[in-house]
Copies of this chain bind each other. A is one copy, B any other.
């Protein structure tokens, strides 16, 4: 258990690190759709031979799963961070609306929701991970709403669970619209309308 078990890279070194391959694959999946990017295409644009890719990830399922993991820690973590800042209802919702409707990183939608909407086309490992992340997101939304309810900011008759599901799906819808090319302003308007059920925005309709 000493430092001897550090895997020393013997043999021919990697011309391209696994992380770079993952990033290239992630961006390709993200821009279009995992179902529309073949393993062959990933190898080509990543400059990696197919046998090498299969030696590293085992299968297409292994690759998409690794990509999803990387996407979760590099992108989805930002959404979770917004929820866990402990800010007020409106400030948080506005931040979510900003991110979903106008963040330049999400110009082609959200890779996670693309995977979720095409879940049946994914391998078992990736599909399982999609379900797990979906549950985590739901828990995150629920925890946020719980905090707002404790703070007396959301006294409505809607249950916590229903509110979390609603919030989650509205964000998902915004991302899917983004992927479809809807303009940020249009998405912002619709998402603002949808989330107005959690309390009216500061401006507009002061009545």
Which residues of A in the span 151-168 have a Cβ within 8 Å of any Cβ on B? 156-158, 162, 165-166
> Are A169 and B173 touching (Cβ within 8 A)?
yes
> Are B176 and A194 touching (Cβ within 8 A)?
no
Given contacts A117-B117, A197-B196, is CB(A205)–CB(B173) below 8 Å? no
Chain B: CB-nearest residue to A186: B165
Residues of B within 8 A of A33 (CB): 120
Expressed in whole angstroms, the minimum distance between the Cβ of A189 and any Cβ of chain B is 5
Interface of chain A: mostly helix, strand, loop or mixed:
helix
Q: How large is the interface on A (under 10, 10 to 19, 20 to 34, 35 or more residues)?
A: 20 to 34
Contact with B along A155-195 (1 / 0, CB 8 A): 01110001001100110010011000000001001100110
> Are A194 and B177 touching (Cβ within 8 A)?
no
Expressed in whole angstroms, the minimum distance between the Cβ of A59 and any Cβ of chain B is 20
Is A3's CB within 8 Å of the partner chain B?
Answer: no
CA distance A33 to B119 in the complex (A): 12
A positions within 8 Å CB-CB of B = 33, 35-36, 117, 120-121, 156-158, 162, 165-166, 169-170, 173, 176-177, 186, 189-190, 193-194, 196-197, 204-205
